[in-house]
Amino acid sequence: MSDIIRLLPDSIANQIAAGEVVQRPASVVKELMENSIDAGATTIRVIIKEAGRTLIQVMDDGVGMTETDARLSLERHATSKIRTAEDLFTLRTMGFRGEALASIAAVSQMEMKTRPAEHELGTLLLVEGSEVKKQEPAACEKGTHISVKNLFYNIPARRNFLKSNPVEMRHIVDEFQRIALARPDLGLSLVHGDEILHDLKPSKLSQRIVALFGKSYQEQLAPCQEETELMKVSGYIGKPESARKTRGEQFIFVNQRFIRNNYLNHAVNQAYQNLLPEGNFPFYVLFLSIDPKHIDVNVHPTKTEIKFDDERAAYAVVHAAVRQALGAHNLSPALDYSNDVNLINRLSQQPALSREQYLDEQFGTSLQRSNLKEWEKLFEGAERSGSSLLSPDPQQLRMESAAGNQASPPSPVPKIVFQIQDRYLVRPVKNGLMIIDQQAAHERILFERFQSKLKGEKGTSIPSLFPQTIQLPPADFALLMEMEKEIRSLGFQFEVFGKNALLISGVPAEAAGRNEKELMEGLLEQFKQNQASLSIPLQDNLCRSLARRAAVKGGQVLSSEEMSAIVEGLHSCHNPNYSPDGSTTFFIFDTSKIESHFR
């Protein structure tokens, strides 16, 4: 038997390493900016074209590299931060694996210019797919300038897996913001095409937060400080009343390195328990300083996951720090969240519409009723078979009318629909009882109505009595503007109102009575959640997202008109059996099953 184990060529080994380190353009931005920080840079400039597909340029004024160091930096496991194995347990630098530049060079056309301050001439390196094409002296500024062109040009399959430009740009902005928060002492700028997204001067953390997220945060921040033998916690938390429907503005740093840790996020969210309405998330930027020997940062190639040697202690310290900050600054919510603040009688909010018009706009009962005949067969005989139990007794109605001295005859007995547990609607039908999940059914109704709007049917907007201003994170603002046409088609009315801000002056008629700001934030958050877990077209995602956020919820008390409108609206759907996410909207509890319980 011949030998079958062989060493991989360096080019292939580098591409495999790149698969772990360089997942998308944002990964390149993160790695290069971290290298700049480790090089002692005070100013870092990032230039992006086509969301990083064609160009990612990172320029810094750090210490630069000699010709030998520049060439060695492209080799795997070449690093200036590690000398012995013990150094792995005392890490305080950002990039330490020695794989970033080699991995990036393996999947792009990379140009590097670098010069130490004490040298008159620097070094130019041109690399394509790990192969050095040119190395020569060059005149350049102090520091290091790296241009990454045509990312994944030699791996078409990987390039095809990249998302749309708005999605990839959002990831880049996210990485930039994390580094900007971690190092407010640095001057940082981000340019996409011809647009300057950020131009940040060195500042205090609070000023950096305001510069990144907007002036509205000036009144929302409360300092958070706690120090124990294990760790020190510092940073800012947001007031409960400033919580948002989006969960993106939550940052935890350990030794100035952004980390993802659901356990610590849970500690913060638990500290806000009973202070926030359901589905809202607080803002926080927290820094944990801890002896590196108590953590392991070498868990994941992207260095965003770490392990604590005592996770319970870390959880307790973070939870206590946030609770103390909330108590010290008397950050109690002004609203009583024991009741659902969205439980508004929506009928009374729209005096300009008749009840029939409102029900038509709210629940879509004027949809094409292609299935109506089949549904009417289902209800044949329901009133007759169920009237003795579920319908008012006509004799009783006549007695009540006489007792009230009412001369007019009683109105016809309506088709009965009632609600149980504030979640399900019950309607007698020919073969028994139809039990409807009110939220799933309403989502189906709204989903099909929004689809019709995006296909060109004229939608209706409800003007806001008091237009609301909403300040969005730059990534969310860019995403929204990319979908501006579709969002307007759904019925939103808005205009740009400053940097990353919108003035919302109208909402879809189906969402009448909803808080404009919460509805828009909820739409974006749901869209991003769907985008991360589903592979569906943009328009379907928008329709799903808005239907989920605008639909009535389980646990919400409905009027008899609203209940009837949901039943009728469901009948006119093209696919009434399932909600957009595949949940069952209703089932029939057969009469024979009911009878089996009594015989």
By the 8 A CB rule, do 38 and 94 touch?
yes
pLDDT digits over 410-466, tens only? 333 346 888 898 899 998 888 888 999 999 999 999 999 999 888 876 667 888 888
Q: What is the pLDDT of residue 307?
A: 83
CATH for 209-328 (3.40.50.2000, 3.30.70.20, 3.90.1330.10, 3.30.230.10): 3.30.230.10
Give 135-139's long-range contacts (Cβ < 8 A, gap of 24+): 135/67, 135/71, 137/67, 138/113
Question: Both tokens of residue 461?
Answer: 């907007």
pLDDT-derived band at 116 (thresholds 50, 70, 90) equals: very high
Residue 216 pLDDT more than 50?
Answer: yes
Q: What is the pLDDT of residue 214?
A: 81
Ordered by start, the domain boundaries in the chain are 10-202, 209-328, 347-599
Q: Mean pLDDT over all residues of the chain?
A: 80
Q: Count of alpha carbons within 13 Å of 102, Cβ hemisphere only?
A: 23
More confident site: 291 or 331: 291
Residue 92 pLDDT more than 60?
Answer: no
Residue 109 pLDDT more than 50?
Answer: yes
Residue 541 pLDDT more than 70?
Answer: yes
Q: What is the pLDDT of residue 467?
A: 87
Q: What is the pLDDT of residue 33?
A: 95
CATH for 347-599 (2.30.250.10, 1.10.540.10, 3.30.200.20, 3.30.1540.20): 3.30.1540.20
The fold of the 10-202 domain, in CATH, is: Heat Shock Protein 90 (3.30.565)
| DSSP label of 578 | B
Residue 340 pLDDT more than 90?
Answer: no
Residues with Cβ within 8 Å of 48's Cβ and at least 6 positions away in sequence, in order, are 25, 29, 55, 56, 57, 169, 172, 190, 191, 192, 193
Segment 17-43 shows an average pLDDT of 87
Q: What share of the chain in percent tops pLDDT 70?
A: 77
Task: State whether residue 105 is helix, strand or coil.
Answer: helix
Among the listed residues 377, 294, 329, 29, the one whose alpha carbon sits nearest the alpha carbon of residue 173:
29
Residue 360 pLDDT more than 80?
Answer: no
Helix (H) or strand (E) holding 230: none
Cα of 447 vs its chain's centroid, Å: 20
Residue 66 pLDDT more than 50?
Answer: yes
Q: What is the pLDDT of residue 18?
A: 58
Q: What is the pLDDT of residue 86?
A: 55
Angle between helices 311-328 and 262-271 (to 10 degrees): 30
Residue 36 pLDDT more than 90?
Answer: yes
Residue 532 pLDDT more than 60?
Answer: yes
Residue 569 Cα distances to 364, 422, 542, 574, 576, angstroms? 6, 19, 20, 11, 9
